[in-house]
Structure 1
Amino acid sequence: MGTENLSHLGRAFAVLESLVEPKSSAEISRELDVNRSTALRLLRELEAIGYVRREPDNLMFALDANRIRKLYAGREIDPANWRDKFDTFLKTIRDEFGEAAILGVPANNSMVYASYLDSNNVVAVREQIGTVRSMHCSALGQAYLSTMDEPKLTELLKDISYLEGTTRAPQNEKELRERLVAIRERGYAIDNEETFEGGMCVAVPAKVEGKVIGSLGLSGPASRMVKKAEEAGARLMEFVSAH
């Protein structure tokens, strides 16, 4: 299966589709027609965010059945839907706004970049797939938290330390809950220099067949993003509403 025309996100889903049984990085490399270092990097990134694990006896890579089962909640969801849906949109919104486009997924009470399309601008916020952001201070995390029902939210907030981020970020549960109320009313989350100075991100919950699986975001220098935030939020909401 040639993957030369797929983005990094597309290749990651190709790996997941290939792991119907445990395989080595060499086998994945041959099936995807990529070099072994690329295959190993994809596998390690998927392992880091919990979708792939290593078999303890032979170090082969396999799908983490518990994570997949928990994510899909017993429903049949075709991973190809993710690839077609998010990959195309991330490219589109990156090109429309000239800023980095992100798909973040929850892992260990943080948000991990499952896909990251860099900005075309010379001056930009440079990050990468696998970047980890705290839920309480990132737009990706706050957008995801805003969708939770009260029992799940209360349980998750017990483990948030509020140590990361800038002084602009929520400093306690009360402040975070106030942000979540505003996000639900507005429809999108805004991280205005809360994760780090000079950076700004707008994000909305990302869904597959009605189930929230993470967040979609647009990120860039605050000096540019502050002028685009409202329009970017509306564009992200438009996409989510249509799908």
Structure 2
Amino acid sequence: MAQNSVATLKKGLLVLELIRKHQGITLAEVMKELQLSKSTAFRFLTTLEKLNYIYKIQTHYFFNPKKFSNGLEKRSNKDWASLHSIYQVAQNVQMSTYLGKVDGTDLVMTQVLHSPFLHSTEEELGNRSKLHQSALGKVILAHLNEDKLNSLLDKMSLEPATANTFQDSQLFRYHLKAIYEDGYAFDDEERIVGIRCVAVPVFRNNEAIAALAIAAPADQISRTNIKQIAIKLQAGSNAVTKEIETLENT
């Protein structure tokens, strides 16, 4: 009995170590890598998930680093570099994908993925732009409550990044209302000439805390495919929210 228990524990630790080394791994990949039957691999994965050592997004399993951190340590609200669901968004839309958060009147990039969408682009993490200059910033602003929005707009000067950037504060307010009604924002070369962007908000407790977006050359994003892109991004936003909640509650 003791030998069987040790052997089972060893296999379980091998599964956990395998998951730790990957940016997401499927049941089939665990079976292949460790030469396990489907039922055995599934049993290990289910047990590790129930114990919060790993978590699952769609068909992929991910290592939960918070399970092994000091209980007094808190994950910084600004440190989302370990989120995995954005990888699946990028692979689904096959366009450069961004996750950004608000810092004062700036938008700060917390994840940036370019083709082949396997690794976050480290040199672009932390890049800043003004909130009004991109779809990411605009979609967050549009979903803030009135007090927070007014407080931010009072501090913003609406300086242009290109000739297409909003500079009229009254028109910008009307634009934010339209974004709120649509549920997504469109950046028509407002920050970078030749680049268009579509963004949706990321919510937690019904509050917009970030934005998920894709960006591509203007000829790849037309007014006829914006809504289709937005629908894919909204599904991705839901996955990001779920992953955040999973990590914070374990």
- Aligned amino acid, residue 230 of structure 1: K
Instruction: With the length of structure 1 as denominator, give the TM-score of the two structures.
Output: 0.62
- Could you say which residue in structure 2 is the equivalent of 1:234? 231
* SS of equivalent residue, structure 2 residue 210: strand
The Cα of 1:230 is off from its aligned counterpart by 2.1
1:110–1:133 contact (8 Å) kept in structure 2? yes
Structure 2 distance, partners of 1:51, 1:105, is: 7
- Aligned amino acid, residue 93 of structure 2: F
Q: Kindly tell me: are residues 101 and 152 of structure 1, through their superposed partners in 2, closer, same or farther at Cα, counting changes over 3 Å?
A: same
- Could you say which residue in structure 2 is the equivalent of 1:118? 114
Residue of 100, 107, 116 corresponding to 2:103: 107
- Could you say which residue in structure 2 is the equivalent of 1:140? 136
Q: Kindly tell me: are residues 155 and 5 of structure 1, through their superposed partners in 2, closer, same or farther at Cα, counting changes over 3 Å?
A: same
Residue of 210, 221, 224 corresponding to 1:225: 221
- Could you say which residue in structure 2 is the equivalent of 1:215? 211
- Aligned amino acid, residue 5 of structure 1: H
Q: Kindly tell me: are residues 19 and 188 of structure 1, through their superposed partners in 2, closer, same or farther at Cα, counting changes over 3 Å?
A: farther
Q: Does 1:5 align with 2:22?
A: yes
1:134–1:164 contact (8 Å) kept in structure 2? no
5+ residue gaps, structure 1, are: 23-45, 53-78
2:106–2:131 contact (8 Å) kept in structure 1? yes
- Could you say which residue in structure 1 is the equivalent of 2:5? none
The Cα of 1:5 is off from its aligned counterpart by 2.2
The Cα of 1:112 is off from its aligned counterpart by 0.7
Following superposition of structure 1 onto structure 2, how do residues 61-80 of structure 1 map, counting pairs within 5 Å?
Answer: none
1:99–1:120 contact (8 Å) kept in structure 2? no
- RMSD of aligned Cα (Å): 3.6
The Cα of 1:241 is off from its aligned counterpart by 5.8
C-alpha distance after superposition, 1:148-189 (max 9, x if no partner): 111111111011111132121110211211211111121100
Q: Kindly tell me: are residues 161 and 149 of structure 1, through their superposed partners in 2, closer, same or farther at Cα, counting changes over 3 Å?
A: same
- Aligned amino acid, residue 234 of structure 1: I
Following superposition of structure 1 onto structure 2, how do residues 149-160 of structure 1 map, counting pairs within 5 Å?
Answer: 149-160=145-156
Structure 2 distance, partners of 1:232, 1:87, is: 20
The Cα of 1:20 is off from its aligned counterpart by 5.5
Instruction: With the length of structure 2 as denominator, give the TM-score of the two structures.
Output: 0.61
* SS of equivalent residue, structure 1 residue 167: coil
- Could you say which residue in structure 2 is the equivalent of 1:174? 170
1:99–1:218 contact (8 Å) kept in structure 2? yes
Identity rate, percent: 25
5+ residue gaps, structure 2, are: 1-15, 25-61, 243-250
